[in-house]
Amino acid sequence: MPEPPTTLTGQRALVTGASSGIGRAIAIALARAGADVIVHARQNRAGADATAAAITAQGRRAEVFLADLADDTTHEPLVRRAWDWQGAIDILVNNAGADMLTGEAAGWSFEAKLRRLWQVDVEGTIRLSRLCGARMVERGRGAIVNMGWDQAETGMAGASGEAFCTTKGAVMAFSKSLARSLAPKVRVNCVAPGWIKTAWGAHASQAWQDRAQRESLLGRWGTPEDVAEAVVFLASPAASFITGHILPVNGGLAMPGGE
């Protein structure tokens, strides 16, 4: 019996920001589809180890690499180590993003938040994509999936909206351009999640809970697993004729651009 079109058996993936939340769900879903996975984290070794353990429990291989993507001197060594792990990387998922909503960063100035988002979300994605992409082209195949945001195309009022729309909009535009640069050997796509219940969403106020449900046509928060399944599809042979695409994962955006 032929394998299903979403199988990733024998493939090797690098997932950045995979110690928790959406990144963890992506790494586990890729492993469930058959891939061996490099779990990247900035400094959360315990979280990364937990993700790796979930991968190995499914019979796949996992490795943990730590690197602060805000420091651009870490980008090339990370790609080199990832490539050397098993001789190549078939799938790159640029999921890592700076958390500006919780912890110490929540109290930073707008300028400081924007600077960190640009370093991690934009420059990190661009450099890792170009470094991995060049190696993939030389090898003759590969898939890259980047992380955008659904409201980057419509705009969202407020300081957070301004910062996230600016940076995720840049990632989405870059992904379309890189798809042209690396075609036809390497596919580049981008998922654009909407309201996804990660750590922030789980503790958000009732007003935010109501808004998340109101702004989705399906009337609920998305889950990290919803995003993960979309990533697996875009990375798999089932999406072999899809590149340069932005895939919203938001249950249908009902009310874009609100306060």
pLDDT for position 100? 81
pLDDT for position 258? 47
pLDDT for position 180? 98
Lowest-confidence range among 91-100, 127-136, 173-182? 91-100
pLDDT at 1 over 60: no
Structure tokens belonging to residue 235: 């990375």
**Cα separation of the two ends of the chain:** 52
CATH number belonging to domain 12-249: 3.40.50.720
CA dihedral (240, 51, 56, 54) in degrees, to 10, reads: -100
- Per-domain residue ranges for the chain? 12-249
Distances, alpha carbon 250 to alpha carbons 102, 195, 258, in Å? 22, 6, 15
Mean pLDDT (the chain) is 93
pLDDT at 151 over 60: yes
pLDDT for position 154? 87
What's the rounded Cα separation, in Å, for the pair 18 and 243? 24
18-32 pLDDT, tens digit per residue, is 999 999 999 999 999
pTM of this prediction?
0.94
38-90 pLDDT, tens digit per residue, is 999 999 999 999 999 999 999 999 999 999 999 999 999 999 999 999 999 99
